Amino acid sequence: MIRKFVGAVAAALAVLAGLWLMIAPFALGTQPEDADWTNATQSEFFAGLGVAVVGLAGAIAFVLAIREELIVRGLVVPKQRPEPEPEPVPVAAAQQASSAELATLLAPLVEALREDLHPTSRTGEHRQNGKTSLVGVEENR
């Protein structure tokens, strides 16, 4: 655990050293104002950028290793992410009816609509639900 902590501190110091290398030519006045960057400035800046990036990657790695060590020891409890709720199954997929069953269910509605559209075709008798001619037609298909 101590080694990981020392590694994280060293990586953080490397980030700071890289940042210093990046700003040193400007802070110390070795780069003239309002002029193109000299070769020395470019070398120091990009070397500092490289050192800072490597130090940052090292610091992140050491911090993650320390966190993992604390979880293993039981000193840190990670947050549990809520599990996504399962998507509801569509009714059509859950209950697939055959065309004959569907015709049986819809036949009284079709006959009632047909009677409403053609009121003169009635002979005075009332339609009996469930006993329609369409069911026989659908089953013969």
Of 21-30, 77-86, 120-129, the one with minimum mean pLDDT is 120-129
> Residue 48 CB: number of other CB atoms within 10 A?
19
Rounded to whole angstroms, what are the CA distances from 10 to 17, 64, 67?
A: 10, 15, 17
| Spatial contact of 115 and 127, defined as CB atoms under 8 Å apart | yes
pTM above 0.85, yes or no: no
In a domain, 119, yes or no: no
Q: Is the pLDDT of residue 112 over 90?
A: no
| Domain tally, the chain | 1
- Look up the domain containing 67 and give its range: 1-73
In a domain, 52, yes or no: yes
Say which DSSP state 58 is in: H
In a domain, 44, yes or no: yes
More confident residue, 103 or 109: 109
